[in-house]
Chain A
Amino acid sequence: MGAKHTWIDVTELVAWKGFPTGIPRVTYNLVTRYADHADVSLVAFHRRSRQFREVDAQTILEFTRRQFRERSQPKGRRSNQVPSLAVPLESASERLRSQPPLYFARISTRAMHFVLGRPALRRLAWSVLRRLPRTEARLRAAYARDASWVTERQGQFTYGLTDPSPLRRYLYSMHAAAHPARFSPGDRLIVLGAGWLSDSFQEALAELRRGVGLLVYQVLYDLAPIVLPHSFGPGFAESFTRYLFEAAALSDGLIAISASSRSEALAFCESVLLPPPTIEVFRLGDEGAPANEPSTPVSELENTTFVLSVGTFELRKNYHLLYQVWRLGAERPSEELPQLVIVGKRGWAAGDTMLAMAGDPMVNDSITVLHGVSDGELEWLYENCLFTIYPSLYEGWGLPIAESLAHGKLCLASNASAMPEVAGDLIEYFSPYDAGECFNLVVRHLEPSILHAKEREIAQRYVPTSWQESFRQFDAALRRIEGQLAP
């Protein structure tokens, strides 16, 4: 069956806050390969109007490239100390208190929403407030901030309303002024990004599918918030569950980033008696970031032998296991471990582990935590480490494993979820709940002959996946799904 026109949803690229990692990176790499096609257009979801609006491909791709370039620059923020230990991660309400809305908005968020939600009261309020200089602008600003806070508290993680970047603001205004996409029956809409950012996103997709007859395909990343709900902020697991339930119910097909995610999604559908959609699998590319920065030495590690671990510093990445492993090493002087270098921005519920690593005199000199590392520095870290280690409790894929192998480095990885899919029998695995097993593996691979043998095997057998190949697999998966749809 031939779809008439292909629409790619790039809401993440328009609205993602902060530096583009993970999902925006996948979106960018696939979109750049779709963007050349004449029958492909880009859209992004405009939450307030619940519409998908057209986005200019050149603008959004250039904007994302700039972000990658920005990302690749060193931020000068690296530390093996624990920042702000007293407040592990500020909650939304704490943030609100620290940044109170402007004067009358302080009265009560609920009261303000009550007024703003009723046209007559809103008109009345604004007719009064307009007489005060700049009041309306202040109200709008306060409302925007509160709207962001409220939706986040409800577990609908919104975005964009508080982003300060002028370029980003330009992008928002461009998007807000854009025409709604003119979908036709039989067109296909491919959602590459995070469809869980707003409940109304999936609702809008369902309406389009029913009303217009769009074919909807969505990328399935992982089920981490369902498998490990405690490793995310309050409310997120429920929000994500609603997303997955609706996405699976409405999509004509899902394209998963691993067989593990696919089987978990099928099990999810079965658990709630949801007829499962067709789910195909494609492999993510493991080329470096698009900026392709040259290798840049990290000066403080230039003469150090170290093991590298890459990933957001959060509960799910299970760095506490590495703390335990290095603590075991410290207790056995005969088996001295090299420096452990952890590279990752700080995420959810990282406080206790950071406290242990920074405060335990047995290990605090042998563990280094780096934040704000540039792509060039990361390249150098991969090139110069002994091997990498990835103890995550759960992953939809495990990009750091692939990146490690692409650099010819062995990765000792957790045997959970999708991680064994990345490198099969080329690498060694341990239970993410067994520090002793992990310790023994680390010690074993400190033996140069064993490590070099593994590196030779990786060099001979591991074939990195380019994003072009990833795109080819994605497109093929899409066609397989379309081939299975009833005419």
Chain B
Amino acid sequence: MNLQRLITVAGLGLLFLIPPIWSWSRLVGTEQQLQAAHATYELTRRDASEVLQLRAAHDRVADRKRPEDHVLAHVNRVLAEAGIPSRSLQGVRPEADIALTTSADAGRTQYRRQSVNISLQRLTLPEIGAFLLRWREDDAVWTPRRIELTKHRSRTDDDDRYDATIVISAIYVAEPRP
């Protein structure tokens, strides 16, 4: 086989090889994209499922700090739902707002605890129970952290009523650390 024929055959061979090589490279690229699409889809499906699941759950933590008037309105609403006259509410006073230190997620999400002191007076135990029950049903974010029941001093000593000091706390997401 002379050189010219060899070059011709080699050229033809190359010419015939180019289309399948080009198609193969396209197929490889598409299959890689397909694998990536499958992986992304699975990830999206899992995330979406988790989103739907979490949406069905209650907030355990507030997404931001709640203003004081919001808490006051909340207390009044719960008092009304529990059938407690609003005059029983002596005051709502904000307490310390402190940062929480958590072992996990350190440095990623910073949480803070907002506390509010609620003073109620002349409540019977059933009223206190109803208030706490309605409070829990109404909002799972705010948790009674401290409760102090003190016998209400009245003229008649048989008045079975208590002054209640309830400190409620809510964890909220603070701005992430820079």
State whether these chains interact. Answer: no
A residues sitting closer than 8 Å to B (CB atoms) are none
B residues sitting closer than 8 Å to A (CB atoms) are none
